[in-house]
Amino acid sequence: MLTRIDHIGIACFDLDRTVEFYRATYGFEVFHSEVNEEQGVREAMLKINDTGDGGASYLQLLEPTREDSTVAKWLAKNGEGVHHIAFGTADVDGDAADIRAKGVRVLYDEPRIGSMGSRITFLHPKDCGGVLTELVTSAAAEH
Ligand code: CMX
Ligand code: CO
């Protein structure tokens, strides 16, 4: 069951400049940052609020680390902006299987590693009304 907006992914050319915009404009601080080589991103997670399921909602600011990454390709085509949304669940495997059975393309056979040791998968934007959609089970507090 999907129980929260886990994050909104925002693609940018310059992570440090974008982090500074969110800090100066809204007062949001970096909760966590990391490089995910598999996804080809350097990212900062800004925690916005806790959620009733024991998780939280974040903004995920994404800067590509290589030319052939999905985010680099998207930035070249669209410029900076909202790249994807992510729903949180305690069971990414089960929810991905249920959604796949409804005819929506799930991009990975098995969930991969996302921010903060979470397990993630993606739904194809062309099957989701033009919205790249991620499913996330966070490392903490979920089975
Ligand atoms: N949102 C909406 N539509 C998108 C999109 C996005 N983020 N990315 C691509 N599309 C659309 C394109 O506009 C294009 O549509 P048209 O054919 O109408 O022009 C179509 O999808 C194909 O796009 P493409 O540029 O040819 O890109 P690919 O098919 O090579 O890749 C996708 C698209 C979704 C398979 C790829 O981006 C992907 O695997 N994404 C999942 C991984 C990811 O995004 N990782 C970064 C974030 C990591 C994290 O959140 O932790
Ligand atoms: Co994401």
What are the chain's domains? 2-142 (3.10.180.10)
Q: Is the CB of 40 under 6 A from ligand 1?
A: no
Nearest CA to ligand 1 atom 51: 114
Rounded CA-CA distance 143/131 in Å is 27
Strands 30-36 and 41-50: antiparallel
Q: Is the CB of 9 under 6 A from ligand 1?
A: yes
pLDDT at 142: 56
* Tens digits of residue pLDDT in 16-74: 999 999 999 999 999 999 999 999 999 999 999 999 999 999 999 999 999 999 999 99
- pLDDT of residue 139 exceeding 80, the answer is yes
Nearest CA to ligand 1 atom 4: 125
Exactly one of 39, 60, 63, 142 is catalytic; name it: 60
pLDDT at 140: 78
Ligand 2 mean position to 25 CA, how many Å? 22
- pLDDT of residue 141 exceeding 80, the answer is no
* Tens digits of residue pLDDT in 82-135: 999 999 999 999 999 999 999 999 999 999 999 999 999 999 999 999 999 999
Burial (CB count within 10 angstroms: exposed 0-12, middle 13-18, buried 19+), residue 31: middle
Neighbour tally for 48: CB within 10 Å? 16
- pLDDT of residue 6 exceeding 90, the answer is yes
Q: Which of 18, 28, 136, 23 is nearest to 82 (CA)?
A: 18
Ligand 1 mean position to 99 CA, how many Å? 18
CA dihedral 82, 63, 79, 132 (to 10 degrees): -40
Ligand 1 mean position to 115 CA, how many Å? 19
